[in-house]
């Protein structure tokens, strides 16, 4: 069992993701610099962390989606390796075409940092199996561009296919259909705006994020 | 601009650059000749109030700056204290008042960037940010725009760099209509044996510039920050710097990596007065000389003059002196992080700063006079007449008690600042355990990978300082100490950010002297040394000075974060105990100001012996697990403290005060050294208090869904919450 966290210039949750995975699952985590072109052998989970990669210049996640490491990330995803994009990482996955839709400026036009309640709308995925019958989890989110958008046809499709994994109970940013996180059609790529990497111990306000890391590492 | 400048006589320019005739005479004497333009620029910024502390230095010496935990006191980029296990906490607070008024977004953003650089320059990773903000009256036409811009700027910078903003304070008063205050504090974590300093250790070492390129922004920012404003102030916008938080993030990582590589002999960020102050201070402190080749400086624009390069305050730049033969290490790291870098000179043994540009020597100055002969003023001051104490019996009671509580809880100074702190990332780094949102008197972040945590706070009650500078200065320190205590921390040390008007006016100088002396007394009594600080003077517009605002930032250590305390844990059935003496002091109180429009009367006095005794007692109760909630009493007294505890804990409280007592001094008085605590064992607590010589009474109990006091008032929690949460979003919408 092994995980990797990709570090882009401007990533600022890379250490948080490493610590969250290590403390939640005990799995070792390697840091991978964005200019690498290969991933460590035998990686079971690749995390694209939050932050402001490349200063969020152009569009959030747009430059990171074109960085040297990304072809290796895509190859791994195609082979079925789990990929988790959190916040800026979710934006990268959408920019890279690995997940449908896009993240727009928040409806309130401001950065919003607050704890959010999430409904687990699909507990059958590799990322959510450990939630079992638990259908309501709490995490914190902090972003300026977390407003999930896709056309109605895409939204209908991902809802129909069970790809919507988390929904906001009280939508903080205007996301379409209260969507907070989605998986790819194959189910091995998860993008989400709330931070499980800031909710893995009770003193952080919630430990609900730990189950997500446990789920995905157990699925490997 | 350069042409126009070059045509003027140097002596005339000296005055324009803020040098007084006698200061200029000293320069002529020490050089034995007239300085050239570049040299004049160097002198004028180094001798500006901002860089030289020429009006305050003589009085700052009164502050206690040493103690068993102090590793580095004032004089370096930031203060350093020992937090055990070979770890150190590095922290400082700094103002960015003048630029934030002129251009709020960039002014505030670069304030955050600057204070972070001060901390990581010392070898520490920044782990927490706070900000203390003062704006004008909400009805002033500029206030809303300034508030919006400042908050966006702080968030835009801190969020991107990825350091949590965990605390702060925001006040409004018409006294800040023409000069807002933006005081930013950064707290960092380092290994105690790996602190980096700015003094160049020897001659012959390479001087390496890295970070962003130098442009024409912020030229003479330090001089601007050392002058009053008038109608033309907004024309000073070009002196405001422009920040790039992405560059700062890269700079932090590259700097810490460079330090870890062992290549760094000395290092200094380029803050106020940019390349001038960094090179002068590094060489001057090290007792060596420095030679720079300005052609090698990475430049953002073409055709920059030596003068512009030396005076630029372009952001996100560092100057390092590397150990011999280590330039390749630097180059590898700078390339990795995509930073501009160049070796721009070397240290020498001449004791001079020599600058070359386009083959010519454009500056050749002895370093000693820049620091040794920097002006030091013992400015005349008058201690303003104090206000008489208000007899609590003569202050009117409210007509409607419930409405009085709602008025206080929804007034701009007390109303929830959610609209502000929801724009700040409070959780990045995944070590925040208490922040502005949780109901705690301090922000608390874990010391990564340990059970320890740091508690941080910033405090000042300007209305007290206004009516009595000495007591106000004392109170600011005591309140910071109290807030850390209420969070369960052992207070360690202080950083101060002294914001005042024009020190050339004796009554302003009197405020400065009084506040510093009051702070010094409190710091001594509480063993709470000052380890860093910043002075911002000339906060005046058209002769109208701000209320005196000596902001205190402070840090404390919690040995085990499971023993931290907030005021969000009160449960129905808990007893509320008031710790500390209550005489009912209403002078300069919020009650007096918000209900009666009065800002008079002697402020409550801090009895430092009781402050310490009460605080040590409370901290002991917290460590022993005896409390369910703890909140210090400040603005609005017992009634507001009880309401805040009730809102944070989401449970009603009923106080014991009744209508047959003279209740308003008791409910709204702002006597110092007091705490409101929740407990399940009131009897045991009272017995312990008696044994410790601490005054404590049961003042109420938790339960129900209202904040009430016997037959005096009962305000439903929901109404109180709506009032408290509603003001700021309503104002900003």
Summarised one tens digit per residue, pLDDT across range B636-661 is: 999 999 999 999 999 999 999 988 77
Q: Which pLDDT score is estimated for B35?
A: 95
pLDDT confidence tier of residue B4, bands split at 50, 70 and 90: low
The C-alpha angle B73, B76, B82, rounded to 5 degrees, equals: 45
DSSP string, A54-65: GGG-SSTTTTGG
Strand-pairing partners, residue B444, are B434, B455
SS3 A133: coil
Does the pLDDT at position B537 exceed 90?
yes
Sequence-ordered list of residues with C-beta below 8 angstroms from that of B500, at least 6 positions apart, any chain: B508, B511, B512, B515, B535, B536, B537, B539, B545, B546, B548, B549, B550
Strand-pairing partners, residue B189, are B89, B125
Does the pLDDT at position B3 exceed 50?
no
Candidates B94, B105, B48; CA nearest to B237 is B105
> Crossing angle for the helix pair A208-218 and A14-25, nearest 10 degrees?
70
Token pair belonging to B507: 């009554």
| Contact flag B425-A142 (C-beta cutoff 8 Å) | yes
Q: Measured between CB atoms, does B160 come within 8 Å of chain A?
A: yes
Q: Which pLDDT score is estimated for B2?
A: 46
A113, A139, A144, A201: best to mutate for the B interface, most B CBs within 10 A:
A113
Q: Chains A and B: how many Cβ contacts under 8 Å?
A: 85
| pTM, two decimal places | 0.96
A74-124 pLDDT, tens digit per residue, is: 999 999 999 999 999 999 999 999 999 999 999 999 999 999 999 999 999
Q: Which pLDDT score is estimated for B32?
A: 95
Does the pLDDT at position B224 exceed 70?
no
Looking at every residue in chain B, the average pLDDT score rounds to: 95
Does the pLDDT at position B235 exceed 70?
no
Average pLDDT over residues A180-202: 98
Average pLDDT over residues A20-40: 98
Residue at token pair 């070009």: B238
Q: Which of B244, B250, B437 lies closest to A9 in CB terms? A: B250
Q: Which pLDDT score is estimated for B319?
A: 97
Average pLDDT over residues B76-88: 97
CA distance A32 to A8: 9
The better pLDDT of the pair B444, B271 is held by B444
Q: Which of B155, B249, B430 lies closest to A16 in CB terms? A: B430
Q: Is B410 exposed, middle or buried (0-12, 13-18, 19+ CB in 10 A)?
A: buried
CA distance A14 to B214: 30
Q: What are phi and psi of A166, to 5 degrees?
A: -130, 140
Q: Measured between CB atoms, does B733 come within 8 Å of chain A?
A: no
Question: What percentage of chain B exceeds 70 in pLDDT?
Answer: 97
Does the pLDDT at position B208 exceed 60?
yes
Q: Which pLDDT score is estimated for B8?
A: 80
Phi-psi region of B679 (alpha: psi -120 to 50; beta: other; left: phi over 0): beta
CA distance B178 to B545: 9
Q: What is the DSSP letter of B604?
A: P
Q: Which residue of A has its CA nearest to B249?
A: A10
Q: Measured between CB atoms, does B159 come within 8 Å of chain A?
A: yes
B141-166 pLDDT, tens digit per residue, is: 999 999 999 999 999 999 999 999 99
A195 is catalytic: yes
Candidates B387, B386, B394; CA nearest to B665 is B394
Q: Which pLDDT score is estimated for B11?
A: 87
CA distance A87 to chain B (A): 12
Q: Is B118 exposed, middle or buried (0-12, 13-18, 19+ CB in 10 A)?
A: buried
Q: Which of B162, B426, B429 lies closest to A113 in CB terms? A: B426
CA distance B681 to B694: 17
Taking a contact as any Cβ pair under 8 Å apart, which residues of chain A between 93 and 112 contact chain B?
A: 110-112
Average pLDDT over residues A18-37: 98
Question: Which domains can be identified in chain A, with CATH numbers?
Answer: 3-218 (3.40.50.880)
Q: Which pLDDT score is estimated for A138?
A: 98
CA distance B631 to A28: 42
A121-175 pLDDT, tens digit per residue, is: 999 999 999 999 999 999 999 999 999 999 999 999 999 999 999 999 999 999 9
What would the 3-class secondary structure string for B472-509 be? HHHHHHHHHHHHHHHCCCEEEEEEEEEECCCCCCHHHH
Average pLDDT over residues B289-301: 96
B11-70 pLDDT, tens digit per residue, is: 888 988 889 999 999 999 999 999 999 999 999 999 988 888 999 999 999 999 999 999
B683-691: list long-range contacts, CB under 8 Å, 24+ apart.
B684/B626, B685/B575, B685/B577, B685/B621, B685/B626, B686/B577, B688/B617, B688/B621, B688/B626, B689/B579, B689/B617
How would you list the strands of the sheet with A136-143, edge to edge?
Answer: A29-33, A3-7, A45-48, A82-86, A189-192, A179-183, A164-168, A112-120, A136-143
| Contact flag B159-A13 (C-beta cutoff 8 Å) | no
B491-514 pLDDT, tens digit per residue, is: 999 999 999 999 999 999 999 999
Does the pLDDT at position B226 exceed 70?
no
pLDDT confidence tier of residue B1, bands split at 50, 70 and 90: very low
| Contact flag A9-B423 (C-beta cutoff 8 Å) | no
Q: Measured between CB atoms, does A207 come within 8 Å of chain B?
A: no
Q: Which of A19, A111, A142 lies closest to B427 in CB terms? A: A142
Question: What percentage of chain B exceeds 90 in pLDDT?
Answer: 90
Q: Is B522 exposed, middle or buried (0-12, 13-18, 19+ CB in 10 A)?
A: buried
Known catalytic residues of B?
50, 96
CA B46 to chain centre: 22
Q: Which residue of B has its CA nearest to A20?
A: B430
């Amino acid at each position: 069992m092994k995980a990797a966290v990709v570090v882009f210039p401007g990533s600022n949750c890379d250490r948080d993701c490493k610590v969250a995975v290590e403390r939640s699952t005990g799995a070792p985590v390697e840091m991978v610099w964005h200019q690498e072109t290969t991933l460590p052998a035998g990686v079971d989970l690749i995390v694209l962390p939050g932050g402001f990669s490349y200063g969020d210049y152009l569009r959030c996640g747009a430059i990171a989606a074109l960085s040297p490491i990304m072809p290796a990330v895509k190859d791994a995803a195609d082979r079925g390796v789990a990929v988790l994009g959190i916040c800026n990482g979710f934006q990268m996955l959408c920019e890279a075409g690995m997940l449908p839709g896009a993240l727009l400026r928040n409806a309130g036009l401001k950065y919003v940092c607050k704890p959010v309640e999430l409904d687990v709308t699909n507990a059958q995925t590799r990322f959510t199996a450990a939630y079992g019958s638990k259908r309501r989890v709490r995490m914190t989110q902090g972003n300026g561009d977390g407003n999930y958008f896709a056309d109605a046809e895409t939204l209908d499709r991902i809802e129909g296919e069970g790809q919507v994994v988390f929904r906001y109970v009280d939508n903080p940013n205007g996301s379409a259909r209260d969507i907070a996180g989605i998986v790819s059609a194959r189910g091995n790529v998860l993008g989400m705006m709330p931070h499980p990497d800031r909710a893995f111990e009770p003193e952080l306000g919630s430990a609900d994020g730990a189950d997500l890391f446990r789920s995905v590492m157990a699925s490997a | 601009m350069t042409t126009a400048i070059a045509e003027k006589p140097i002596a005339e320019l000296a005055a324009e650059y803020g040098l007084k005739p006698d200061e200029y005479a000293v320069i002529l004497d020490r050089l034995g000749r007239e300085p050239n333009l570049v040299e004049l620029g160097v002198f004028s910024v180094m001798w500006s109030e901002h860089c030289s502390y020429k009006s305050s230095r003589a009085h700052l010496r009164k502050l206690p700056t040493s103690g068993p935990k102090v590793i580095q006191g004032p004089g370096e980029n930031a203060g350093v204290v020992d937090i055990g296990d070979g770890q150190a906490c590095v922290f400082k607070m700094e103002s960015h008042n003048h630029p934030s008024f002129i251009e709020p977004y960039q002014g505030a953003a670069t304030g955050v960037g600057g204070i972070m650089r001060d901390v990581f320059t010392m070898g520490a990773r920044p782990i927490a940010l706070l900000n203390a903000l003062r704006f004008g009256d909400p009805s002033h036409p500029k206030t809303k725009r300034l508030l919006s811009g400042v908050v966006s700027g702080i968030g835009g910078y801190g969020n991107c760099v990825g350091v949590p903003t965990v605390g702060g304070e925001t006040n409004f008063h018409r006294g800040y209509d023409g000069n807002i205050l933006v005081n930013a504090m950064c707290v960092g974590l380092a290994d105690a044996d790996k602190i980096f300093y700015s003094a160049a250790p020897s001659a012959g070492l390479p001087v390496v510039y890295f970070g962003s390129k130098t442009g024409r922004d912020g030229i003479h920012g330090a001089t601007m920050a050392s002058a009053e404003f008038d109608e033309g102030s907004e024309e000073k916008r070009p002196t405001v710097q422009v920040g790039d938080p992405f560059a700062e993030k890269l700079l932090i990582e590259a700097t810490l990596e460079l330090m870890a590589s062992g290549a760094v002999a000395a290092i200094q960020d380029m803050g106020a007065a940019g390349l001038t102050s960094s090179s002068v201070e590094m060489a001057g402190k090290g007792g060596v000389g420095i030679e720079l080749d300005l052609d090698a400086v990475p430049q953002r624009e073409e055709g920059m003059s030596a003068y512009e390069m030396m005076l630029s305050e372009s952001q996100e730049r560092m100057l390092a002196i590397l150990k011999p033969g280590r330039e390749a290490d630097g180059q590898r790291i700078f390339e990795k992080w995509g930073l501009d870098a160049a070796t721009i000179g070397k240290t020498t043994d001449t004791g001079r700063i020599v600058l070359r540009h386009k083959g010519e020597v454009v500056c050749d100055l002895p370093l000693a006079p820049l620091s040794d002969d920097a002006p030091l003023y013992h400015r005349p001051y008058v201690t303003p007449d104090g206000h008489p104490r208000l007899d609590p019996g003569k202050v009117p009671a409210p007509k409607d008690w419930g409405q009085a509580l709602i008025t206080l809880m929804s007034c701009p100074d007390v109303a929830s600042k959610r609209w502000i702190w929801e724009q700040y990332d409070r959780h990045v780094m995944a070590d925040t355990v208490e922040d502005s949102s949780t109901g705690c008197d301090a922000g608390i972040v874990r010391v990564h990978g340990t059970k320890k945590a740091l508690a941080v706070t910033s405090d000042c009650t300007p209305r007290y300082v206004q009516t009595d500078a000495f007591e106000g200065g004392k109170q600011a320190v005591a309140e910071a100490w109290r807030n850390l205590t209420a969070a369960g921390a052992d207070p360690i040390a202080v950083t101060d950010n002294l914001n005042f008007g024009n020190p050339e006016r004796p009554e302003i100088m009197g405020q400065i002297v009084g506040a510093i002396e009051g702070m010094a007394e409190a710091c001594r009594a509480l063993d709470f040394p000052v380890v860093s600080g910043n002075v911002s003077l000339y906060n005046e517009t058209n002769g109208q000075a701000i209320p005196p605002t000596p902001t205190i930032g402070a840090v404390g250590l919690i040995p085990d974060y499971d023993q931290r305390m907030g005021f969000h844990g009160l449960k129905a059935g808990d007893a509320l105990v008031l710790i500390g003496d209550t005489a009912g002091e209403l002078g300069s109180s919020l009650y007096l100001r918000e209900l009666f429009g009065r800002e008079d009367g002697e402020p409550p006095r801090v009895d430092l012996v009781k402050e310490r005794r009460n605080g040590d007692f409370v901290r002991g109760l917290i460590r022993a697990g005896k409390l369910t909630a703890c909140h210090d009493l400040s603005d609005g007294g017992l009634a507001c403290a009880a309401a805040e505890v009730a809102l944070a804990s989401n449970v009603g409280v009923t106080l014991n005060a009744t209508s047959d007592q003279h209740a308003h001094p008791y409910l709204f008085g702002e006597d110092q050294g007091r705490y409101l605590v929740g407990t399940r064992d009131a009897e045991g607590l009272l017995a312990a208090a008696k044994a410790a010589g601490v005054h404590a009474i049961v003042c109420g109990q938790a339960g129900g869904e209202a904040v009430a006091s016997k037959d005096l008032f009962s305000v439903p929690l929901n109404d109180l919450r709506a009032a408290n949460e509603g003001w700021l979003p309503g104002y900003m919408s």
